[in-house]
Amino acid sequence: MFANPLTAMLTGFVRDIGIEVRDANLPEPTFLPGLDIRFGALLVDEERLLYPGDVLHEAGHIAVASPEERSRETLKPRGGDEIAAIAWSYAAARRLEIDPAIVFHEAGYRGSASAFISNFAAGRFVGTPLLQWYGMTFEPRLAQEQGVEPFPFMLKWLR
């Protein structure tokens, strides 16, 4: 469906975890070029998509939203959902065994992309407490108590 092999791989993962992905023509400006979210589906305009890694970040917003929020026409992240989507997209990058810099590129994250990569590499998993509260993963101490792998391992990909 998508010509760029990286875009195809990332959207394939997103579909596999249960998020609808649609090839779309998005002529109007969107928050991230070539991507939009409608009724819980990720719309991708490959011609306008500047950074394929943004697919994972936007999918993260869908994944951490409650089912009720996902069903709305537009998704409006609340509270800590941005940092939860950041942690989710890092876990997805690790699951796919891709360089986190594909997701955390220098054109995004208000100049903090390298800081996110450094923090995650050092085991400082910002956003993980919220993912844990959503029942999606466990931090190391609780993972050990539960007998499961800790973040970035995900127990489930959708809230």
| Residue 53 · residue 105 · CB < 8 Å | yes
Half-sphere exposure of 46 (CA within 13 A, CB side): 13
Amino acid 6: pLDDT:
98
50-91 pLDDT, tens digit per residue, is 999 999 999 999 999 999 999 999 998 888 999 999 999 999
Q: Which sequence spans correspond to the domains of the chain? A: 5-146
Model pLDDT, residue 110 = 87
Q: Which residues of the chain have pLDDT under 70?
A: none
Alpha-carbon distance of 54 to 102, in angstroms, equals 8
